[in-house]
Structure 1
């Protein structure tokens, strides 16, 4: 039996509400544009999938082992999750290799090719770019995804840190950490010589396993368990950390990631995570 189920998005007709209640057997609450069904009696994941498709809203079941009241850390992928672009694709546009790099990026995110191999190939095509061009991308192309500022405000109020983990680059991740006052970040270090990219990386390559290891490392620093972590990502290289967390969230993710996660957000901003930080009940909204 599933007894914690969250809905995000707009239902346009009262009959939509009745259909969902009939299929979930739940009680219905509303707060703004967010809806919540509690004490639902859903035994079949296909019921959830069908409702998602029919009403084009996010409907998610919180796993039994996850306690929203105990969340102590949020770990978030950077490219196409915390920010709205793939930074490497933006750099490739400046180097004249946009189509090639975008194709490799897409295949890697779908899990079709080895991530480490794909990254080395893509970085090699960036050789010769100047650091001021990277700064230009940061200032003109990077925007946070919908709901990030609301999420960060809620995390600050609850004193829950957020870390960025990225198969992308320190150049961007570290600037975002400073800008938003984030706890920490992990990303790849581009090798630079005389102000230009060499087309190589320095240090250990950040792949999916490195992301999961970093999650565990930060948990030790905070003296919490991985069960107290919400992890968010969109690509196949995020799967190890998503699986390691107490709650893994596929955010506007590739199919291979959505299929593996209980929590899937396709119609909401990242502020939907606010509703997984401490269990929502009627009393919290004065019902």
Structure 2
């Protein structure tokens, strides 16, 4: 196995320490912030050493290439983008703290996602539809590396899907902006320009996210090992379990435990450095 080590500012001393600890045969530079430690071996203190040096580390099978993958599926809120959209919409209703508390508990897996979503959406009743546009234009930003990642995935012919427990208002715009092939999310009910506090249609929860991944995968004839999935919260666990390679981006502990790769320091384009 190879060990890929990444960071915003990789300290040479720390990198050599990781190489010695894992008995790597050599160090290959991928780019200034990423290195491949060839023929590395697991070591008990690896996580602590990398954490202290602010390094992300991922075990990758030797010879695995980005072109080996055919499908990329990602979550939106706090993964592709820097916010939880529902929390920011609630802020315009003066309810951010209350809604954000529910969101955080759901992302940690402490409460049922569907019930948490219905509770949060109900609190938005009466809010103008214009609040959604305000959040998109003024508060939503892509997480570092998102655009570069999507460009390279497209160049490699990888099919891309955005699937979210958030809202179609945002996923539809991001699909067009970033060139996703498909996008799925919850649809807010809007009547006379105001949110009713309800959601139209089935809820996109963790099981639905995984179902969308499997449906697209099977419809296009891909194998599970040809799928990369990325997320940050508990409702992304089923999706990562259905993928051949799971990425936890700035993730909650419950998802980190289910992932093949954890990115806590570099951007989403750190995924690209993992493969030869």
TM range (shorter): over 0.9
For residues 201 and 57 of structure 1, the distance between their equivalents in structure 2, rounded to whole angstroms, comes to 41
Matches within 5 A, 1:8-19: 8-9=6-7, 10-12=9-11, 14-19=12-17
Residue 143 of structure 1: aligned partner: 141
Supply the distance in 1 between the matched residues of 2:86 and 2:186 (Cα, whole angstroms).
11
CA distance in structure 2 between the aligned counterparts of 1:178 and 1:6, rounded to whole angstroms: 32
Size of the alignment, in residue pairs? 273
Q: Counterparts of 1:27-66 in structure 2 under 5 Å?
A: 27-30=26-29, 31-42=31-42, 44=43, 46-62=44-60
CA deviation digits over 1:133-183, x for unaligned, max 9?
211111111110000111112112111122111000011001111112211
C-alpha displacement at 1:71, in angstroms?
A: 0.4
Question: What is the 5 A alignment of 1:112-131?
Answer: 112-131=110-129
Using the TM superposition, give the Cα deviation of residue 67 of structure 1 relative to its aligned residue in structure 2, in angstroms. Answer: 6.3
* CA deviations over 1:243-265 (Å, ceiling 9, x no partner): 11000111000122112323110
Partners in 1 of 2:179 and 2:65 — Cα distance? 26
- 2:94 is equivalent to residue 96 of structure 1: yes
CA distance in 2, matches of 1:268, 1:254: 16
Matches within 5 A, 1:1-287: 3-9=1-7, 10-12=9-11, 14-26=12-24, 27-30=26-29, 31-42=31-42, 44=43, 46-62=44-60, 68-276=66-274, 279-280=275-276
Question: What displacement does 1:37 show?
Answer: 1.0
2: CA distance between counterparts of 1:231 and 1:8? Answer: 19
Q: Distance in 2 between matches of 1:17 and 1:80?
A: 29
State the alpha-carbon separation in 1 of the partners of residues 160 and 106 from structure 2: 25
- Provide the C-alpha distance between the structure 2 equivalents of 1:4 and 1:207, rounded to a whole number of angstroms: 35
Q: What is the CA–CA distance in structure 2 between the aligned matches of 1:11 and 1:181, rounded to whole Å? A: 32
SS of equivalent to 2:92? helix
Contact kept? 1:48, 1:60, Cα under 8 Å: no
Deviation per residue, 1:225-257 (Å, 9 max, x gap): 222111000000000001110001110001221
Rounded to whole Å, the distance in 2 between the matches of 1:157 and 1:68 is 11
Tell me the TM-score normalised to structure 2 length: 0.94
**TM-score, length-normalised on structure 1?**
0.91
Please list every run of 5 or more consecutive structure 1 residues that lacks an aligned counterpart in the other structure. 281-287
Return the alpha-carbon distance in structure 1 between the equivalents of residues 13 and 137 of structure 2: 46
Q: Measured at CA, do residues 248 and 216 of structure 1 come closer, stay the same or move farther in structure 2, by a change above 3 Å?
A: same
- Secondary structure in structure 2 of the residue aligned to 1:95: coil
Backbone CA RMSD of aligned residues: 1.7
Q: Which runs of 4+ in 1 moved over 6 A?
A: none
